[in-house]
Each structure stands twice: as structure tokens, then as C-alpha cells.
Amino acid sequence: MNLNLKNISNTKPNSSSNDSKVKALLGPTNTGKTYYAMDRMLSHRSGIIGFPLRLLARENYDKAVLQLGKSQVALVTGEEKIIPPNAKYFCCTVESMPLERSFAFVAIDEIQIASDPDRGYIFTDRILNARGSEETVFLGSETIKPLLQKILPKCSIEIRPRLSVLSYIGVKKITRLKPRSAVVAFSVPEVYKIAELVRTKKGGAAIVMGALSPRTRNAQVELYQSGQVDYLIATDAIGMGLNMDIDHVAFASDTKFDGNTPRYLNPPEIAQIAGRAGRHTRNGSFGVVEDNIKFDEDAIEQIESHTFSPLKNIWWRNTELDFNSLKKLFNSLDANPPFNFMRKKVGALDTLSLNYLSEIGPIKSKINSKETLSLLWNICQIPDFSNSLSGMHFNLLEKTFELLLSHGKLDNDWIKSQINRLNNFDGEIDTLLNRISNIRTWTFITNRKNWLDESEYWQQQAKTIEDRLSDELHRRLTQRFVDKRIVILNKTLREYNNLEAVIRLDGTVFVEGEEVGTLNGFDFIPSLSQGEKAGPILTAARKILPKEIERRVRELLMSDNAAFKFNNDVSILWQNNKVATLINSENIYSPKINVNNYELLSDEQIKQIELRISEAVENNIKNILSEAINLEKPVLNNLKELDKEKQSTATENEVNKEVKINKDLSGKALGIAYQVYEGLGSAKTSNLSMSVNNLSEIDKRNLARLGLRLGVETIYLPNLLKPASVKLRALLWSVFNQIFCSSSLPPDGRVSVIIDPDTKHAFYRAIGFVPLGKLALRADIAERLSALIRLEARKGKFKINDAMLSIAGSTKIQMEEVLYDMGYIKVGEEPSSLVDQVPIIIFERKKKIIKTRGKSYNEKVKKSKNNQIKIKANPKNHKKEKVPDPLSPFAILKSIKIK
């Protein structure tokens, strides 16, 4: 906020006799300086104190009202004026002190702010000009002592020691901070980030930032002071006069942005903030939250001993302004200071605004009198609380000047339109902060009584909106950064020393009507933030859980096998809760079971659950993949199954026939069946250790009776291509190989899927899909497609047709890649009959060596005149080579290595 120089433009430094009545009370934080000044003011017949913050002015106003009553105390800030007719004592912000009035006692707090580049010149003016007729007291840091002695040689200076010890304790992580700690950051996003972490780990925190309205800040401070939360997250706004029960101040950064560039904090700044820890005679500490944030030893020693380098400069700006012309006004603002250690203030918002507005043609032409120029200067004092320095603020000043100059008053309809657009409580926290900044500007304007017809009405309207926005902001901050349930339940615990907990049928756990967590299966998941405040609440909740756990264990042990479901993440679900995990074993069909180690389960309960889940998993796998499992020992399995299912109904002839079929399975057929068993229900034909071409009709029939389908590309079990079987096959393969490909699992009902480049082809084979090109086709679909393509290839050269695309569910480009993998080659192209279509590719079968009746033929393709395909065979002398049966006794003996 900028100085209202209209009020002080005619003030001059008091005489040296008055300087002899000036006293300076200097020292670090927590020395009782403000308490002393308030006490001295109230001992005089009248008095005024200038505070650096509106918040502090309000805080001390409230204390004085409690002691003296409202009729004797006034509050004057840029946005708020409460001045009873007979008020004797004024609590003000330094900028808003009505120095045209005479007071017996005058005090200025935090005079070392005279060294601040933004507001320093205002404090310097108060040091030079503000005097009480009976007593004047300046309060601040000892760093300003040498300069104060130069300005006021006769000033009496008293140095006060800190009432408690302030110690540096080094690094302590945010999650390890003890209750009644404040964490200081230097940007709003960082404050939010830290507050989110503290809510998660500690239950919640209050927020203090300079951007908050005093009402919101007070509400947040009360949240902390009342013990509802034990942590405070703040910007450096905490360092100025906020007296709270803080034991430790932790710095989240050692740098800040000063408006131009980032810079390191200096020792006095650190001390001002750290000094919030340890009030009255209670000791305090300060430190940092990360190892990379370091204060050097010299700075730490200065802070702990409260000895700092004295200030070398303070800021000043002339207050004796000349309004006879615009040029003379600028010249008076540019006057040089009376001491060489004072720096001339340039670039203040009011000066920037005056520069901008005076360059606007219609305004410049109207600055023709001292009164008009004085009005323009007073309009330039309107603060921009958003600190945006945007065109919107300059437009507001321009409109205000236009209305006041032409009508003498601001138009009520215009004021209403400006204020009502801010009467909106929707949006995020930052949106509310922006609205509060804008309404505070209007609170300032409406307190200029000579600018409005109904100033009190508009003051009330602006104040009401500001209060409602502030309350909503407080609610949003609390909602976002405080687990309100912890606050409510701890209050109940303090009042009644007991908490009652209940658990609902859906597993939701309530304590005193507040939801605190959920019992998922056998795992209690707290919904409260884990922290000191949540401890007693969660303890009360856990007292009721053992009985419910025992009931659930009994229910699990009595559940049907169908109650246990396989989940894609290799867990076992019971009542939609994860209760166990599959672990690989030596047999792909028999994974091990690991019951989740829940703290609420006893060892005996875990053992019982493990046995029951293992039994259910084994039965469920056998139920879904029985056809594949039976292929391990097809004869024995079928006889055993026959005994169970057909013994009572089958005739003797049927039994003998069944036994005969199984006994007739050859070694070759057994080998094929076993390899399909190893492949979880399918095997690539070309990968088999023996050929299927020479299978006997009896073997083919018996393999068919086992559910197998002998395809050209794949031998597979059609019943295991259903979604439930595919999912289980994928799960078992993933567990056995410890390669998890759940994202590559085809959706239910899909017959083709694009291959994930990061997924092995073996995975697709294991689930009954055939990798071809960039697609994986379900085995039965791959066989249908292969048959259709072979039929087309018999005609010679062929093209991709709609039937192929329909079966595979593919595009033409994808089908081309499928054909390449199936052994077909591109032999030509034809232009498309459609516009903007790619050429049509023509395919034919690759040339290959085939065997016919022991003679080798080289298959050559030639095109006849009528475009028919002819095969021309060139016989060559070739001796027929007898291929031994790999399953014969001689082949087996040959394979045995003699050691």
C-alpha cells in the first residue's frame, strides 16, 4: 500500500525539543516491545500506533476494545475505518496514520522496515515527522540504531534482550517435524505443495500468506492456535508480528524472489522469521528441511546471538509536494534526501500511475489547477493489491478520475457493476485470492467518503463481499489442506476421552459417525491422514476389527471354489478383494499361493486361508483347462474320467471300445498331445518334434477325441479359445515365466489383436493366438484364413479380397504382412480403380521343393496365354532316404549318451 501523501504533505519535522521526548525500544523478536508500546499509549490521554500490517492493527485494536470499549478506540487502515466520535486511541497501519491530528502519544512499530525498497520511504517519513506531544516511541530491530542516532541525536535508545533462547537444530525432514512447527516457503505453489504433504502425513496444516485477507489469515491462525492442526505452512508474511505458539520454524528454501531476481536470505531476514519460534519465556528452534539448504555458520551465530550488521541505508521520498503544476509535482517528488545514507525512492506505484495517467491526452488537458492535480495524485494512491501493475488497474484509475472530475462523485451504477462482478464464490483457491485482492481495492475506494454519495452503504457492501470471499477461501483452504475428520474427532476425544467405532456390512469403518477407513477383505485401509492426530482415532477403529476379521476368515473357509477369482495382476480375488498372489513353480499348471501378509491376521489364520485358496485355485485351473491338463497322460486321464462319469451308464461294449481307443494311441500321437499340454492348449505345427503328416487315421481320431484340432499352422484345443480360458492361460504363462503382459491380453471376443512390440510371440502362442505380420490371430481364425488363402492360391496369382479381411478383422496393409509370414510373395501390382487408392498387390506362393513318390520336383510357375497357372516338373535323380521314427526303441537308445 502506498502512502496517502495528502494527509502528510504539510507535516514538517517537529522541533528538537520534541526529539528529546523520543524513545527507541530496539531488540530482536519476542522482547515485549509491542506490549510495552500499547501499555504506554493507554496510559496517556490520547495516542496512536502505526503497525506494519493491517492484521496487526486489527489484532491490537481488538485488544484495546476489550480493555476500554468500542467508543474510545479507532481502527484506521487503507481498507477499513472505524472512528467513533470520541475515540482517543488509534490503531493504524503506518501508511494510514492521520497525522493531521494531534496525539499525546505516538509509536511506530518495526522501524527497520525503512530499509525496505518498496515501503521503506514511508517508515523513514514517520521517523522524521511523526511525534507525540508528550511521548514518542519507535520500535524495531537493533540494526537501525546507528542511523537512528544520526537522524535523532537526542533520541533515548533502550536495547531489550530476547525473553527466550533461539537455537539452530539443523536438518529435519518435513515428515519428521514435531507438532507446533511452522514451515516457511517463498512462493505460493511451494506453500501448497508442502501443505498437501503435511495433510497426507500429519493430518493437516494452516496456511498463512501475504495474499490472504486479514479475515482469512485470522481464521487460519485460529485453526492452528486452537490446536485443531499442529502445523503451519507460511510465506515470510509470518515474520511480521504474528504471535503464535510455535516451537520450531523450518525453512523450505534459503532464497526468495525480491521482485527482480532470486537472492539468498540475509541473516536479519532469517532471524525475523525464525524469531516466531519460542514466545515469552519458552525457547524456540529453527532449521531447514533438506540437506541442500544451508545457512552458513556466521549467519547461524548472528541469529542465535541476535547480533547483526547495522543498516547502511534507508529509503526516503519528499513529502512536501508542490501541486502548482505537473512539472513542479514531479520535481518535488524527485527532491534529494536530507542525509547521504538515505536513498531516494523512485518507481513507486503512485508515481508510475501519475506518469501513465498524465500522458493520456484527455487527462493531461484537464490538469489546469492545483485542485485537479491534487485529485489526480490522490487517485494515484489507490492500491493494486493484486500487485499485477496491469492495464486493468490503470483503467480503474482513469475512470475514477473522469467521474470525480466531471460529477464530483463516483456513479452508483458504476460502483455497483464493479463490486457485483466480484460477488462470486466459485472457482479455485487462486481465483478467490484474486477476487479478494480486487474487492480490497474497492474497500479502499469506498472508505473515501468525499468520493461517494453513500459511502457507508458501499463500504458495507464491499466489506460484506470481502468477508464472504474470505470465509469461502478459509473453507477451501481447510478443505484442501486439513483432514476435517481428524479435527472433529480429536475435539470429541478431548471432550469425552472416548471414541465409539462401528463397522458396516460393506466394510466401511466409522468413528463417532465419521468415516475413517474401509476393511477391504482382511486389510484395513485408513482414509484418514497418518499422523499424530490420527493415531487415537485409528486405534479406536482397530479395536472393533478382530471380531469382523474372524467372521470373514470363517466365511472364506466355507466359500465355494467359484468365490475365488483370478485377476490379471496375478492376484486372487475373494469378494472383489485381493487376498493372495500367484507365484511360479516347477509346473506351469500348479502355481504356488502366497497369502497377503495382513497385520490383522494371525499366523494360524494365514495358514488356513492359504490351504483353502490353494485348493480352490487347483480346482479352478483343472475346471477351466481340463482338456489341456488331460493331455499330459491322455490314456490314464481318460480311463480315470471314464470310471467316474461313464461307469454307471456305459455298456460293456462301450467301455471296451473306449479303452481300446486309448490303448491304440501311438508314441507319435502321445508326443503331439504332450507338446500341446506344454503349450497350455496349443502348439505350432512346425515346432513339433514329429510330423503330423504320417499320423494314422486311428491317431487322428484319438487326438480328435481328446479335443484336439489338427490345423496347418497350429494344433489347438478349440474349447480353450474362450475368453475365460485365454485369460487363465495368459495368467499362468506370465506367472511361470515372470513376464507380465496383461496389457497385451486381447479383449473378450476379439479374434485378432495388434502385436505389442514389447511382448514375446511365445505369449500369444500360449494363449492360443498365432502371430502373423503385426497381428496375432486366434488359432481357429488363423486356420480359416489359411484355408481361404490356399484356395485362392490354387488358381495361381491372387489378390487380397474382402473375405480375407473380414475373417481376420484387418486392413489391407496388415493382411499383406500376414501373407508374407504365411509364405506368400508379392509378384506384381495393379492400379486401383478407385481414386486416391493405393495399388492392388498381387501375391503367389513361394517356390519350394516338394516330395512326391520319392522323387524331387522343382515347382516352376509359368503363365500361359490364357493367364492360367501351369506347373512344370523336372524330375531329377534322387535316392529315397528313409527317415527313422524318433520314438522307436532304436532311436531312443541312440540318443542315450554313454558316459
Farthest CA pair distance, the chain = 136
pLDDT (0 to 100) of residue 563: 92
Closest CA to 112 of 277, 256, 269: 269
* Bridge pairing between strands 248-251 and 284-288: parallel
3-class SS string, 129-151: HCCCCCEEEEEECHHHHHHHHHH
DSSP 715-778: EE-GGGGSHHHHHHHHHHHHHHHT---GGGSPPTT-SEEEPPTTS-HHHHHHTTEEEETTEEEE
* CA–CA distance, 85 with 74 (Å, rounded to integer): 9
CB 485 within 8 A of CB 507: no
List, in sequence order, every residue forming a beta bridge with 107; answer none if it has no partner.
Answer: 49, 137
* CA–CA distance, 118 with 346 (Å, rounded to integer): 9
Closest CA to 248 of 264, 236, 267, 232: 232
| Segments in 226-325 forming alpha helices (H) | 267-274, 297-305
pLDDT (0 to 100) of residue 350: 92
**pLDDT tens digits along 519-528:** 888 888 887 7
CB 609 within 8 A of CB 579: yes
* CA–CA distance, 114 with 150 (Å, rounded to integer): 14
pLDDT (0 to 100) of residue 641: 45
Does an H or E element contain 831, and which?
none
* CA–CA distance, 196 with 190 (Å, rounded to integer): 10
Q: Supply φ then ψ for residue 354, to 5 degrees.
A: -65, -45
| Segments in 359-483 forming alpha helices (H) | 361-364, 370-379, 391-407, 412-420, 429-446, 455-481
* CA–CA distance, 669 with 90 (Å, rounded to integer): 106
Please identify which residue in the block is written with the cell numbers 487460519: 220
* CA–CA distance, 436 with 212 (Å, rounded to integer): 8
Q: E strands of 98-209, at which residues?
A: 105-108, 135-140, 156-159, 166-171, 181-184, 206-208
* CA–CA distance, 608 with 631 (Å, rounded to integer): 32
Q: For residue 489, what are the contacts with CB-CB under 8 A and spacing of at least 6? A: 499, 511, 512, 514, 516, 537
Entry pTM:
0.59
* CA–CA distance, 721 with 6 (Å, rounded to integer): 89
Q: For residue 348, what are the contacts with CB-CB under 8 A and spacing of at least 6? A: 2, 118, 121, 317
- Which amino acid is present at 699? D
* CA–CA distance, 711 with 780 (Å, rounded to integer): 8
Q: How far is CA 278 from CA 37, 181, 230, 247, in A?
A: 21, 10, 15, 5
**pLDDT tens digits along 839-891:** 777 777 775 544 444 443 334 333 333 333 333 334 444 444 454 555 454 54
DSSP 50-69: EESSHHHHHHHHHHHHHHH-
CB 531 within 8 A of CB 203: yes
3-state secondary structure of 47: strand
pLDDT (0 to 100) of residue 653: 52
pLDDT (0 to 100) of residue 860: 38
Burial 110-139 (b: 16+ CB within 10 A, else e): bbbbbbeebbbbbbbbbbbebbbbebbbbb
pLDDT (0 to 100) of residue 832: 65
CB 211 within 8 A of CB 169: no
> Which parts of the chain have pLDDT scores under 70?
1-20, 241-242, 259, 388-389, 486-500, 529-535, 537-538, 635-664, 689-692, 832-838, 847-899
List, in sequence order, every residue forming a beta bridge with 24; answer none if it has no partner.
Answer: 138, 157
374 grid coordinates = 491534487
Please tell me what DSSP assigns to residue 70: G
3-state secondary structure of 332: helix
CB 311 within 8 A of CB 144: yes
pLDDT (0 to 100) of residue 212: 86
* CA–CA distance, 841 with 829 (Å, rounded to integer): 4
* CA–CA distance, 308 with 274 (Å, rounded to integer): 14
- Which amino acid is present at 313? N
Burial 817-833 (b: 16+ CB within 10 A, else e): ebbeebebeeeeeeeee
DSSP 625-664: SHHHHTTSSHHHHHHHHHHHHTTTT--HHHHHHHHHHHHT
Closest CA to 666 of 638, 702, 693: 702
pLDDT (0 to 100) of residue 640: 42
* CA–CA distance, 350 with 430 (Å, rounded to integer): 26
**pLDDT tens digits along 485-497:** 766 666 666 655 6
